[in-house]
Amino acid sequence: MNFLFIADPLAGFKTYKDSTYVMMVESARRGHGLFAMLAGDLAWRDGRVIGRLRKVELTGASPWFAEGASEWRDLAAFDAVIMRTDPPFDQAYLYATWLLEMAERQGARVFNRPQSLRDYNEKLAIARFPQFTAPTLVASDAALIRAFLAEQGDVVVKPLNAMGGAGVFRLRPHDPNLGAILETLTRNGAETIMAQRYLPEIKDGDKRILLIDGEVVPFCLARIPAEGETRGNLAAGGTGVARPLTEHDWEIARGLAPTLKQAGLLLVGLDVIGACLTEVNVTSPTCFQEITQQTGFDVAAMFVDALERNVKGGE
C-alpha cells in the first residue's frame, strides 16, 4: 500500500516523541510506501484534487528521512491519505478540509474524514456529550464570561482553534489582568472562546485517552503540570505518565467511541481531567510514543492495523 501523510514539515519533527513519525516507521516496517506533503500544497486542477508531494524513505540515522523529487499526484492514487497537520484550525486549514472532501468524492480514502474535522471542533465537540462535562460557557461577550466566572469562582479560558495549551488562562474574579485577558482572547468581543470551571484534579494530570477505529487504547497518558503551571500539556512543560484507564475513563471512552467511529474519525484523543471530558482532539492526536515506551503497548501498530483494515474494507 502507499500512504500519503499531510503533515507539518518533516524536518521539524521531534522524532523522540512525534506520533506521526512512529506511524510512518510502523508503516514502512510493513512494507508500505510513504509519501508526504504540506496542506498548503493541495490543489484542484481540471476537476481533480492533486498534491505536490515527495516520496519519503526512512534512513534510521540523522537526518531520519530522505525525500525524492517533488511531483504533483492525484490524491485518489493513494491507498490512504492521513491528515496530520497541527492546528491552529484557521482559514487555511478549513480550505484544506474542503479540498480533501472533494478528493474523497473522487475516490481518495482520507483519515480523519474531512467533514468531521470541521464538525468536531476540538473544544466545542464536548457539547455533544454533556453527561461527561464540567460547567462550560462558550461566548464572546465579556459580561457573560465575567458572570460565569463570578458564579464558578475559578475558571479556565481558552481559544477554540489552538493546541498545546496555547492561549489558556486560569482566572479568578479579582484577577488584576482579567479585563486585558478577555479583551485579548476575544479580540474585544469579535472572537468566541470557551470558559470551563477549573478542575483541581489537574494536579493529578490531564489524561489523554486514545480511540482508534472505535477501540480504546487501554492506557492513557496523564500529563502532569510543571510546578507553578495550570496546564498539563507536554508542549507547556508537563510531564507525561502512562497509566491504565480507570473505570470512569472506560465509561467515557466507550460512551464516545461508537459515535466518533461512525463520524469517520479513525483516531481521536480525548482529554479528561478528573471525571470530566474537556476536549475531543481529532486533528493530530499525539502521545503514541510515551504510552508505548512506558507500558509496552504498541499504539502505532494498533493504528496501522486499523488503517490497513479500513483501506481493505473500502476496496
Catalytic annotation, pick one of 18, 206, 271, 290: 271
Q: Give me the catalytic one of 231, 233, 249, 290.
A: 231
Catalytic option among 223, 233, 249, 290:
223
- Residue 168: alpha-carbon gap to chain centroid: 16
Rounded Cα gap, residues 25 and 94, in angstroms: 28
Q: How far apart are CA 249 and CA 132, in angstroms?
A: 10
Catalytic residue status for 279: yes
Residue matched to cell numbers 510514543: 289
Active site residue 177: no
Q: Does 208 participate in catalysis according to the annotation? A: yes
Closest listed residue to residue 82, CA positions, set 57, 59, 53 = 53
Task: Note if 271 is an active site residue.
Answer: yes
Rg (CA), the chain: 20
Q: Which of 84, 123, 197, 207 is catalytic?
A: 123
Q: Which of 84, 109, 113, 158 is catalytic?
A: 158
Strands 110-111 and 80-83: parallel
Active site residue 243: no
Q: What share of the chain is helix, strand, coil (3-state, %, to 5)?
A: 35, 30, 35
Catalytic site residue from 18, 79, 279, 290: 279
Catalytic, 191? Answer no
Among residues 109, 197, 207, 208, the one annotated as catalytic is 208
Active site residue 312: no
Any catalytic annotation for residue 29?
no
Please identify every residue annotated as catalytic.
Answer: 123, 158, 208, 223, 231, 271, 279, 281
